Amino acid sequence: MNEEQRIASQQVNQPSTSNTKTEKDYSKYFERVITAPSLKEAKKRGKEEVKYHKDFAIPQEFKGMGEGRKFFIRTYGCQMNEHDSEVMAGIFMELGYDPTDKIEEADAVLLNTCAIRENAENKVFGELGYLMKYKRKNPEMLIGVCGCMSQEESVVNKILTTYQHVDMVFGTHNIHRLPHILKEAYMSKEMVVDVWSKEGDVLENLPKKRNGSIKAWVNIMYGCDKFCTYCIVPYTRGKERSRRPDEIIQEIRELAAHGYQEIMLLGQNVNAYGKDFTDINYRLGDLMDELRKIDIPRIRFTTSHPRDFDDHLIEVLAKGGNLVEHIHLPVQSGSNDVLKIMARKYTREHFFDLVRKIKEAIPNVALTTDIIVGYPNETEEQFQETIDLYREVGFESAFTYIYSPREGTPAAKMVDNVPQEVKKERLHRLNAVVEELSAEALKKYKDAEVEVLVEGTSKKRDDMLAGYTRRNKLVNFAGEKELIGHIVKVKVTDAKAYSLRGEFVEVVKRHEVEV
């Protein structure tokens, strides 16, 4: 049995991952057994060691399956999901498919979904309804739903009952099985449902078709064991599994050799990196210290959890070089009571302490965050504590959300006395503070010289170039298109509400300017 067959056979033999009750419920739609998800199973955290497979390859029998066919992938989720789409695009292309950006031309359409909030899910159901139109015109078109929503039994149930024009449903743990799933979908008249509730092993060498050649995403770990009470991710992404350092370092070296300028390290809780290694004592700080030595201009990471942010990591980040001075550090709330029922496992005081340590070590650091307002029973005072904390830390930007109950999470069962109107109003007030502080942070750059990685032309004006500074500030300036992909020095002339305007100075040799 070769490695691929072994992995494949493991997938078939995953009885503990499927929920027999769910299967029985679905049996009225299908005569055969389908592998449906179970959030209850997904919640379990086993002690079994993570296995690594280094020599993944698509079996010969599938090659050529996509000759003359086109694929289209729409991604709804976070950067992790975007990166999964790059892997699936890579698999499609190895099968011989060509990419298309027109759904109507596609022979296979995948919706790579996100389950984080209800509105993310509603968008997908809307799109699924819309896809019916294309399917009627081209009944041969295969429609697939994958990503985090597929991991929820209620979603799979809804698709089975209401969206019968869907051909394939698979989850986040078996995207490498795409060739098998496609083949089954071509051969079968029934919907192919293959979702594992339990995470698989760590697979290396999956093909990837990266979006762009300037910035690249690199997974350093998968899953999350934090179980914040509002969050669906630990159920949809499984337990924490870290990639081996040598694999990560090798991948980044290759990207550097191919001319990539910036790496974004990905994980749902990157500060837990290495916690699961049983043979080595190696954490995110150690990894960053190694990556610092790679000849690539910028390395970022997302997302940090304040709880696991250790002193060694701060010490390493303070060394600068290709480690940028921007940290995204979701705080979620400024109230100890709310943090407690969110199970964030830190207090407001601990958070301030962490911020103080980071600022002492990296004085010019830009901190950004995520905040949830309107948590069940959040009081006006508790909300005010969030606003106060935001100001006191001096965050430079934030993603802000109204709490959205996710089925299967503990928070979804909480009685909530905060009316939706109040939640909206709080979001509004918080956003005003976020905007105020973002504008203030930008103003400080007036007349300064900043280092910009030029990513392309400005969204609004084709004659302007756009890129980000090390501290993640968007800069627009006039310049030749040849500058795209280079790091340049720009003199800031104007600070707008969300971006900086400037004048091109010169192309930078690496790390001349530390902004």
Where do contacts with ligand SAH occur on this chain (CB under 6 A)? 116-117, 230-231, 233, 268-269, 303, 305, 330, 332, 370, 372, 401, 403-404, 406
Q: Of residues 29, 227, 277, 352, which one binds ligand SF4 by CB under 6 A?
A: 227
Q: Of residues 166, 224, 291, 341, which one binds ligand SF4 by CB under 6 A?
A: 224
Q: What is d(CA 498, CA 76) in angstroms, rounded to the nearest whole number?
A: 24
Residue 437 within binding range of ligand SF4, rule CB under 6 A = no
Residue 330 within binding range of ligand F3S, rule CB under 6 A = no
Residue 406 within binding range of ligand SF4, rule CB under 6 A = no
Backbone angles phi, psi at 30, to 5 degrees: -140, 145
**What are the angstrom distances between the C-alpha of 2 and each of 6, 180, 299, 460?**
6, 16, 36, 52
Length of the chain as a residue count: 515
Q: What is d(CA 120, CA 141) in angstroms, rounded to the nearest whole number?
A: 24
Contact 478, 464 (CB under 8 A): yes
Residue 400 within binding range of ligand F3S, rule CB under 6 A = no
403 binds, among ligand SAH, ligand F3S, ligand SF4, none (CB under 5 to 8 A by kind): ligand SAH
372 binds, among ligand SF4, ligand SAH, ligand F3S, none (CB under 5 to 8 A by kind): ligand SAH
Q: What is d(CA 409, CA 158) in angstroms, rounded to the nearest whole number?
A: 19
Closer to ligand F3S by CB, 107 or 121: give it: 121
Residue 228 within binding range of ligand F3S, rule CB under 6 A = no
Residue 371 within binding range of ligand SF4, rule CB under 6 A = no
Closer to ligand F3S by CB, 80 or 182: give it: 80
Determine the Cα angle at 261 with ends 259 and 264, to 5°: 125
Residue 155 within binding range of ligand SF4, rule CB under 6 A = no
How many other CB atoms are there within 10 angstroms of residue 182's CB atom?
A: 28
| Cβ-based neighbours of 456, under 8 Å, separated by 6 or more | 465, 466, 467, 484
The tokens for 48 are: 């079994």
Amino acid at 234: P
Under DSSP, is residue 309 helix (H, G, I), strand (E, B) or coil? coil
Residue 266 within binding range of ligand F3S, rule CB under 6 A = no
227 binds, among ligand SAH, ligand F3S, ligand SF4, none (CB under 5 to 8 A by kind): ligand SF4
# chain residues binding ligand F3S, by CB under 6 A: 13
Please report where in the chains the tokens 């600022």 appear, as a residue: 359
Amino acid at 491: K
Residue 146 within binding range of ligand F3S, rule CB under 6 A = no
397 binds, among ligand SAH, ligand SF4, ligand F3S, none (CB under 5 to 8 A by kind): none
Binding positions for ligand F3S, 81-100, rule CB under 6 A: 81
